[in-house]
């Protein structure tokens, strides 16, 4: 899928939510009416499988690598959200990274692959620079549970946020209502309130002919972040490669 096609798909996805509550996430009217009630998102460990070698493609579409016409295997998911302060203010130019296993339970990390093989068409890692409303967008697959190096993990997507070139936050999105959550060692260490900030519902997109899903995960950072004078990032975590996706 070309970059123009990807953002066309994004626009179509947002349009499909127009009749429901989802569109309100991208409407500033009344957005901060209850800002003071925001609860910070729980932080979790980064885990051992952040890419040790970046994939050939690092954009926000994890289903295709560069201009390949063969998509990754999995339930296509449009993952959206905002990065906010605890007072409800959007954090622009936040560098959002995600990484997750493919449909076989393999990471991009060279030591995080299943002995049975991996999906060579899945990017496994993506990045996005938030806009003026703190919004991000990824096209990926619904995460799956897996056992790797003898350790069971429930379905999750890793998130990391950098600001001004510094890593400021890491966490893991979890699938709400998944029975396997109760077996996960990291989940067991979270109290109920912290866990609730990480649980996300994956909903079918009405009218999708291929069974696409939509998931929304807002990240509320429990600290104040300062911005460079020109509003840009400077040095640090893979910053030299960051480019705002073309629209």
107 counts as catalytic: yes
One of 10, 82, 139, 158 is an active-site residue; which one? 158
One of 10, 127, 156, 163 is an active-site residue; which one? 156
One of 78, 127, 153, 163 is an active-site residue; which one? 153
118 counts as catalytic: no
One of 10, 107, 136, 139 is an active-site residue; which one? 107
136 counts as catalytic: no
109 counts as catalytic: no
Which residues face 213 on adjacent strands? Answer: 77, 204
Residues 6+ apart with CB under 8 A from 151: 185
Catalytic residues: 107, 146, 153, 156, 158
């Amino acid at each position: 899928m070309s970059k123009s096609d990807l953002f066309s798909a994004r626009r179509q996805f947002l349009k499909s939510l127009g009749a429901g509550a989802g569109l309100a996430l991208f409407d500033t009217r009344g957005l901060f009416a209850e800002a003071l009630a925001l609860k910070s998102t729980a932080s979790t460990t980064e885990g051992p499988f952040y890419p040790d070698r970046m994939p050939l493609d690092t954009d926000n579409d994890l289903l295709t690598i560069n201009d390949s016409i063969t998509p990754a295997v999995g339930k296509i998911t449009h993952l959206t959200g905002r990065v906010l302060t605890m007072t409800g203010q959007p954090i622009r130019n936040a560098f959002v990274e995600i990484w997750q296993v493919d449909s076989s339970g393999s990471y991009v990390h060279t030591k995080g692959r299943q002995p049975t093989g991996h999906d060579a068409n899945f990017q496994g890692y993506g990045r996005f620079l938030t806009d003026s409303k703190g919004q991000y967008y990824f096209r990926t697959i619904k995460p799956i549970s897996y056992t790797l190096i003898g350790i069971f993990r429930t379905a999750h997507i890793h998130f990391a946020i950098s600001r001004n070139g510094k890593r400021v936050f890491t966490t893991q999105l979890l699938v709400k209502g998944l029975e396997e959550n109760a077996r996960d060692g990291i989940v067991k260490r979270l109290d109920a309130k912290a866990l609730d900030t990480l649980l996300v519902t994956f909903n079918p997109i009405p009218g999708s002919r291929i069974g696409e899903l939509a998931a929304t995960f807002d990240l509320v950072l429990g600290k104040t972040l300062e911005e460079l004078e020109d509003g840009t990032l400077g040095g640090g975590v893979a910053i030299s490669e960051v480019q705002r996706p073309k629209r």
